[in-house]
Amino acid sequence: MSSLLYRLGKLAYSGKWWVAGLWVLAIAGIVALMAVSSPKLSNEVRIDGTPAQEVIDDLADRLPDASGGQGILAFHTEGGERIDQGDNLAALLDAVDRVYAGEHVIDAREVMAREMAKGPDSPLLQASAAIAQAGASSAGPDAEAPAPLIVDQVPVPGVIVSADGQTALFQFVFDAQTFELPEGTVADTVDAAQDAVASEGIDVLPSSTMIQIPELVGAGEIVGVALAALVLVVTLGSLVAAGLPLVSALSGIAVGIGGAFAISSVVPLHSLTAVLGLMLGLAVGIDYALFIVNRQRRFILDQRLSASEATARAIGTAGSAVFFAGTTVIIALLALTVVQIELLTTMAIIAAGTVIIAVLSALTLLPALLGFVGERICSAKARLNAGSAHDKGFSHRVANAWSGFLVRHRSIAAVGVLVIAAVIAAPMLDMDLGLPSGASYGPGTPQRQSFEVVGDAFGDGYNGPLVVVATSPDDDAIPTTDLAEISTGLAGMDGVTAVSLGGLSEDGATAVFSVVPETGPTSKETEALVTMIRDTAPAFAADHGVDIGVTGFAALAIDVSERLAAVLPLYIAVVVGLSLIVLLLVFRSILVPIKATAGFLLSVAATFGATTAVFQWGWLQPILGMDATAPVLSLLPIIITGVLYGLAMDYEVFLVSSMKEAHAHGARGAEAVTRGFAIASRVVVAAAIIMTSVFAGFVFNAEPMISQVGFALAFGILVDAFLVRMALVPAVMAIFGDAAWWLPRWLDRILPDLDIEGDKLTKRLARD
């Protein structure tokens, strides 16, 4: 492998114009595709096969008018003014007219008019009358129930007004899920409502379901990349050298993420998928290029090689490590496909594709860029001071002192790291999984404002009403008396604020009830209510001959969390198994793969603990610009497990391969540890700081899913690089001594020699 990569580096360096031209053509082609088909992202978390999703899919067939994406707009006045009187009322009605006039909004007034035209024969009107007579649609006696907006003695469909009259809640349905709507539809709907009430100073607050395309890159992300650039300058000591990893990484991002955006109109792309690819593409793209540029400069400064030969050797040696490090990341990501969840499969393929492009960029575009720079990659001053800087530099003194301390106190250091990691991981035992609601967004965002206004005016439950669907198994019409009793039964459950009939199919065989809980969509009480309704489904079937299904935000969150929690052990087992196999091939050792995998699991546990403490318990939130607690994202554990494994193995490969190289060159026991640590630690630390900077930039993203993943990856890299790889690994390797490299002879004979350190290449070039 190293010889092949050596030739590739030499070819890319000499054929720099051809290589750069091919990359430019690829980027131009993707830009052209994006111009023809603009990117289409969504925040929908859909996992087929869950009970809540099956209810939605079945409802789409039986009652299409009630199965589209839900729109919720809160209209709020300040200063005690009522919204249902005078000019405010006129403006509100104008807003309702404009929204219902939208091409993709189902006009509930027309639906009601059709039912009214049927007169007494309308099943919906009959059912509504029976429910009203039973008193099931009214609020509990201890609640101030919101009232329908009445104009000329006729209720306005979809609009209710708070008890104090200052807030109106307008609920409507699109003719498709929000992510399936044409670009700009949701934004145009919100704009239409805002334009109608602007003259009266009424606030229009869209719910989190009304935000179609989240912001992927903001100020925080830019600052993160800027910090990464600063680390590159400090590490490489040259603006020119520091710029090359950035150009290489950004080119890889343009091809990888640009390609994903280009096909997003055909393949649904979740915003988290795009951001994960962007995070990984930037982080590994910069890191991989840094390893190669650093190795090339060391060849020039230490061995006085020409820039051309140094580039080829850097690709052959450091490039081999990059290739196998990238391979571990790709394997970990593609392993997500074993859980057979479409969202995770798409996420895995896009992220793995981005990493593949990052590796290709580092191995082809980067040597071409080095060809354009030539001998200017190292200044005359750097060449003059090369000997002393390499042998007696500050970074080597610090590395030698630190590794020496760890080696001398190896047992204490190992136990100390384990204790620290265990303390950080402890909150993981209290981790709750869920999906982000409006309360999860940052202060000042429209989603958060809407959540708070609706909660204050109507009750927290109105931010996430449940949808209960009653279906006749034999497709016979459900009697109105049964519908009334079902509604009464739902309203009588603990934790229910209100129940209303939301729709009835033409044949009367499917009824939709809106059930408003007393508590918010992410609360334990609402989760208990969902469970209660599902548990009483057999009783409803026995008494009324109907199948009961529950969906809505809370039900979806429960089902998604349970499904992902169920497959997480399988995924961890697959990752651990692959880890042991890959590292066995890379290091040709029994103990090193076991130690590396144990360290990875330690990093994952600490990451889960810290994420729980910050987002669920609220620790350190003021520092991060947050002020609300929320469950940990359901997708986060399985995503972080895969991504962190791949990135952790990067540092393991780069650090321990240097120790193995020192051992192969005659160093024994602790000496191999300290010598290898001194060689690799500086660039590994720089790479870890770069990755942390890139990931940390996403912590301040307004989208909660992106923020949580950014924090978890940033913290995970900090723990893995500085606590596990920079402290635990040297201590444990010193404890193992030469036994760390033991391999049974029979296994040594059958395992292929991957030679990621490039020893064979170095010996061949020395002979030549």
Q: Could you write out the DSSP letters of every residue in 259-291?
A: HHHHTTTTS-EEHHHHHHHHHHHHHHHHHHHHH
Residue 391 pLDDT grade (very low, low, confident, very high; cuts 50, 70, 90) = very low
Tokens 């053509």 belong to 25
Within-domain flag for 18: no
- Residue 476: Cβ-neighbour burial (10 angstroms; 0-12, 13-18, 19+): exposed
- For the cut 90, the answer to whether the pLDDT of residue 607 exceeds it is yes
Candidates 250, 190, 266; CA nearest to 217 is: 250
Within-domain flag for 381: no
Within-domain flag for 546: yes
Q: What value does the mean pLDDT take over residues 530-544?
A: 94
pLDDT digits (tens, 9 = 90+) for 294-330: 889 888 888 888 999 999 999 988 888 888 888 888 9
587: region left, alpha or beta (phi > 0 left; psi from -120 to 50 alpha) = alpha
Within-domain flag for 12: no
Determine the structural domain holding residue 645 and report its residue range. Answer: 391-435+570-753
pLDDT, position 122: 77
pLDDT digits (tens, 9 = 90+) for 152-183: 888 888 899 999 899 999 999 898 877 778 87
Within-domain flag for 233: no
pLDDT digits (tens, 9 = 90+) for 174-211: 988 777 788 788 889 999 999 999 999 899 999 887 76
Q: Tell me: do 527 and 576 sit in the same domain.
A: no
How many CB atoms are closer than 10 A to CB 372? 12
Q: Tell me: do 574 and 545 sit in the same domain.
A: no
Domain boundary among 508, 523, 551: 551
CA distances from 668 to 31, 588, 652, 740 (A): 54, 17, 19, 11
pLDDT, position 198: 92
Tokens 């919100």 belong to 190
pLDDT, position 395: 56
511 beta partners: 470, 504
Interaxial angle between packed helices 591-611 and 729-736, expressed in degrees from 0 to 180 and rounded to the nearest 10: 150
Q: Tell me: do 411 and 536 sit in the same domain.
A: no
Q: Record the tokens describing residue 519, joined without a space.
A: 């508590």
Question: Which residue type is seen at 544?
Answer: H
What's this model's pTM, rounded to 2 decimal places?
Answer: 0.87
Within-domain flag for 399: yes
Domain boundary among 551, 586, 618: 551
Q: Tell me: do 605 and 475 sit in the same domain.
A: no
Kindly calculate the radius of gyration of the chain based on its CA atoms and give it in whole angstroms: 30
Written as one string, the DSSP assignment of 513-560 is: EEEEESS-TTSHHHHHHHHHHHHTHHHHHHHHS-EEEEESHHHHHHHH
pLDDT digits (tens, 9 = 90+) for 701-752: 878 888 899 999 999 999 999 999 999 999 999 999 989 889 898 988 888 8
Q: Tell me: do 187 and 60 sit in the same domain.
A: yes
Residue 592 pLDDT grade (very low, low, confident, very high; cuts 50, 70, 90) = very high
Percent of the chain with pLDDT over 90: 38
Domain boundary among 519, 551, 583: 551
CA distances from 639 to 12, 242, 633 (A): 35, 30, 10
- For the cut 70, the answer to whether the pLDDT of residue 387 exceeds it is no
Tokens 């100390």 belong to 416
- For the cut 80, the answer to whether the pLDDT of residue 376 exceeds it is yes
Q: What value does the mean pLDDT take over residues 267-290?
A: 86
Q: Tell me: do 594 and 727 sit in the same domain.
A: yes
Q: Tell me: do 576 and 687 sit in the same domain.
A: yes
Within-domain flag for 37: no
Q: Record the tokens describing residue 680, joined without a space.
A: 């690799």
Candidates 702, 601, 550, 5; CA nearest to 311 is: 5
Q: Tell me: do 536 and 604 sit in the same domain.
A: no
- For the cut 50, the answer to whether the pLDDT of residue 513 exceeds it is yes
How many CB atoms are closer than 10 A to CB 8? 17
Q: What value does the mean pLDDT take over residues 418-441?
A: 91
pLDDT, position 36: 79
Q: Tell me: do 575 and 539 sit in the same domain.
A: no
Q: Tell me: do 104 and 187 sit in the same domain.
A: yes
Q: Record the tokens describing residue 344, joined without a space.
A: 């995770």
Candidates 172, 168, 158, 206; CA nearest to 83 is: 168
- Residue 429: Cβ-neighbour burial (10 angstroms; 0-12, 13-18, 19+): exposed
CA distances from 649 to 243, 288, 356, 542 (A): 26, 13, 16, 56
pLDDT, position 343: 84
pLDDT, position 248: 94
* Strand, helix or coil for residue 512: strand
Q: Please answer whether residues 533 and 452 qualify as being in contact, where contact means their C-beta atoms are separated by less than 8 angstroms.
A: no
Q: Provide the Cα torsion 368, 237, 225, 707; round to 10°.
A: 120
CA distance 723 to 718: 7
Q: Provide the Cα torsion 620, 623, 624, 629; round to 10°.
A: 40
Q: Are strands 167-174 and 496-504 parallel, antiparallel or unpaired?
A: unpaired
Q: What value does the mean pLDDT take over residues 96-107?
A: 92
Percent of the chain with pLDDT over 70: 95
CA distance 276 to 402: 34
Q: Which residue has the higher pLDDT, 188 or 63?
A: 188
pLDDT, position 142: 43
Question: Which residue type is seen at 253?
Answer: I
Q: Tell me: do 611 and 728 sit in the same domain.
A: yes
pLDDT, position 139: 44
- For the cut 80, the answer to whether the pLDDT of residue 143 exceeds it is no
Within-domain flag for 76: yes
The CATH code of the domain that includes 397 is 1.20.1640.10
Least confident of 195-204, 224-233, 563-572, 661-670: 661-670
First to last CA, the chain: 18
Say how many domains are in the chain. Answer: 2
Q: Tell me: do 425 and 498 sit in the same domain.
A: no
